[in-house]
Amino acid sequence: MSKKDGKYLTTGEFAKLCKVNKQTIFYYDQIGILSPVKKNEKGYRYYSIHQLELFFVIDLLKDLGMSLNDIQQYMQNKSPESFLSIMYRKKEEIVKKRQEIEMKEKMIEAKISLMEEASHLEFSQVTLQPLPEATLYLSRNIQNISDEKFVEVISDFINELQISQLDSGYPIGSITKREQVLKGEFSNYSYLYIEQPNPKEGHPYFRAVKGDFLIGYHVGSEKTISHTYERFFSEMERLHLVLGEYVFEEFIYDTVVQNDKEYFVTKIMMQVDRG
């Protein structure tokens, strides 16, 4: 066979243009997804330049997770309709993956921002600050539930965040109602929550109203958090404030960045009103 007219490519030439080795091209021929257009009497394979597009489509489908077996099935039943069906399906998969990547990027950005902010905080201070309205996604009610039920609610909540793509990268916090705080039941939470800076439509949200909050930090394990709340109560009395409807807690430093519980840091945001 003559190649003088330049219409055919040897296996080596074709493989070089495809940026793969010859064994890949041989294998594709063997399994019937990309065969040469011609073979001469000596068994040499020759490919057409028009087959480059077919190779690139095969390569694209592989990158998109399509198995060689599925590609082989398509090659045996080619049609414009089946090709369009594959392309539409793969486009939907790419859109979904892009959305997932964008969500993860936002999560990382939020975690970087929160950690950088934490590095400049003075954990010994309790300050009175105005906070804007915040949109929170809540768990089921967890007040007065058993330890076993509590684990179940946490598991369900985390699953909801993942399935509905509501994990914003902000820490999972807890809401305690006024009545429990006044009783000294600081860990008898009513709900878990995660802040939603960009809330999606179609989900029930809790609106944390804007207002004045005493904000401070508890350093150490949950066992000693009552001492930190005593500091809050003393500051409330000094400023002539009364406890509002809710108290919010969020981990600043937890097992993600510390091994020793004595160095855990919990942010406490206590809603207050003028007495």
The CATH number that domain 8-78 falls under is 1.10.1660.10
Among 153, 149, 126, CA closest to 138: 153
**Residue 1: pLDDT above 50?**
no
CATH class name, domain 121-274 = alpha beta
Task: Give the Cα separation of 44 and 23 in Å (integer).
Answer: 14
**Residue 259: pLDDT above 90?**
no
Q: Which residues contact 227 (CB under 8 A, 6 or more apart)?
A: none
Q: Which residues contact 257 (CB under 8 A, 6 or more apart)?
A: 115
pTM of the model: 0.68
* Per-residue model confidence as pLDDT tens digits over 122-167: 888 899 999 999 999 999 999 999 888 989 999 999 999 988 989 8
Pair of tokens at residue 257 = 């960045």
Task: Give the Cα separation of 90 and 106 in Å (integer).
Answer: 24
Task: Give the Cα separation of 51 and 38 in Å (integer).
Answer: 12
Pair of tokens at residue 143 = 């007040």
**Residue 3: pLDDT above 60?**
no
**Residue 257: pLDDT above 70?**
no
**What mean pLDDT is predicted for residues 108-119?**
86
* Domain segments of the chain as ranges: 8-78, 121-274
